[in-house]
């Protein structure tokens, strides 16, 4: 994975957020306060501003920029969480101009660890963590099996989707949705959804 791949990945993520803005907010409306899509879209637009013409080939530096842009523009719960995720990923890939699957695994691992430290969410709490962790596991699997990056990412995405869908029956224990208690079950978690995308 090269620096350009990372930037392109961000561009795709940003596009996804714009496209699914209303959808994510609706999901958040069901069990939260209906702003997740708006928040993420605002944030990723800010990210693209910052990246646009930033250049360089330090993946770590770029991911840190992404994280900081998110922290200072998203707000809500998702801002610090996504921000931390990318900042920690950047930390773990500082100075690297290319990442193989193993390197990617380490970076994502660091990112998720950061998210969990910040948000104290365990698997099964019906949060973005439930989409991120399976994706990480799939990535690690792929790396051990020596799969190539493209294949690894594909498997991670698939696992993330499963994790996301698996949040539907869960009862939220973190975030705004937890106020609903049992009533949060049966709804797909918006944060998990945005993570998968």
Partner 1 sequence: MKKLINSPDTVLRDELEGIAAAHGDRVRVSYEPAYIVRNDAPVQGKVGIVSGGGSGHEPMHGGYVGMGMLDAACPGEVFTSPTPDQMLEATKAVNGGAGVLHIVKNYTGDVMNFEMAAELAVGEDIEVAAVVTDDDVAVQDSLYTAGRRGVGVTVLAEKICGAAAEERRSLQEVADLCRRVNAEGRSMGMALTPCTTPAAGEPNFTLADDEMEIGIGIHGEPGRERVKVESAARVVERLAGTIVDDLPFAEGDEVLAFVNGMGGTPLMELYIVYNELHKYLEGRGIRIARNLVGSYITSLEMAGCSITLLRLDAELTRLWDAPVDTIALRWGGP
Ligand X SMILES: Nc1ncnc2c1ncn2[C@@H]1O[C@H](COP(=O)(O)OP(=O)(O)O)[C@@H](O)[C@H]1O
Residue pair 86/111 in contact by the 8 Å Cβ criterion? yes
Any contact of residue 171 with partner 1 (CB under 8 A)? yes
Footprint (CB under 5 A) of Mg ion, residues 9-28: 28
Binding range to partner 1, per CB under 8 A, among 1-9, 51-59, 93-101, 176-184: 176-184
Nearer to partner 1, 77 or 101 (CB): 77
Q: Give the residue from 60, 39, 47, 38 showing the smallest Cα distance to 13.
A: 47
Q: Which of 3, 21, 36, 140 binds Mg ion (CB under 5 A)?
A: 36
Where residue 41 falls (left for φ over 0; alpha for ψ -120 to 50; beta otherwise) is alpha
Nearer to partner 1, 128 or 139 (CB): 128
Residue pair 99/59 in contact by the 8 Å Cβ criterion? yes
- Cα angle: 123, vertex 101, 59; to 5 degrees: 95
Q: Which of 67, 90, 119, 152 binds partner 1 (CB under 8 A)?
A: 119
Q: Which of 42, 190, 196, 197 binds ligand X (CB under 6 A)?
A: 190
CA distances from 96 to 92, 107, 161 (A): 9, 11, 28
Output the six-digit token pair for 167: 């949040």
Any contact of residue 192 with ligand X (CB under 6 A)? yes
Any contact of residue 180 with partner 1 (CB under 8 A)? yes
The helix-helix angle for 101-119 and 78-92 (nearest 10°) equals: 140
Task: Give the one entry of ligand X, Mg ion, partner 1, none that residue 181 binds, where binding means its C-beta sits below a cut-off of 5 to 8 angstroms depending on kind.
Answer: partner 1
* Contacting residues toward ligand X, per CB under 6 A: 28, 32-33, 35-36, 39, 76-78, 81, 119-121, 127-129, 174-176, 189-192
């Amino acid at each position: 994975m090269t620096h350009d791949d990372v930037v392109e990945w961000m561009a795709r993520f940003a596009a996804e957020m714009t496209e699914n803005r209303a959808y994510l907010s609706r999901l958040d409306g069901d069990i939260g306060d209906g702003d997740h899509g708006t928040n993420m879209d605002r944030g990723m637009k800010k990210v693209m501003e910052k990246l646009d013409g930033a250049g360089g080939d330090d993946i770590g530096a770029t991911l840190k920029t992404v994280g900081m842009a998110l922290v200072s523009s998203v707000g809500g719960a998702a801002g610090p969480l996504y921000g931390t995720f990318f900042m920690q990923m950047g930390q773990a890939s500082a100075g690297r101009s290319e990442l193989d699957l193993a390197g990617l695994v380490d970076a994502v691992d660091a990112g998720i660890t950061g998210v969990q430290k910040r948000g104290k969410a365990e698997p099964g709490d019906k949060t973005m963590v439930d989409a991120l962790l399976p994706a990480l596991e799939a990535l690690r699997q792929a790396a051990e099996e020596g799969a190539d990056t493209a294949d690894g990412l594909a498997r991670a995405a698939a696992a993330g989707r499963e994790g996301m869908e698996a949040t539907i029956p869960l009862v939220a224990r973190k975030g705004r949705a937890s106020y609903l208690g049992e009533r949060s079950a049966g709804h797909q978690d918006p944060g998990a959804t945005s993570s998968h995308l």
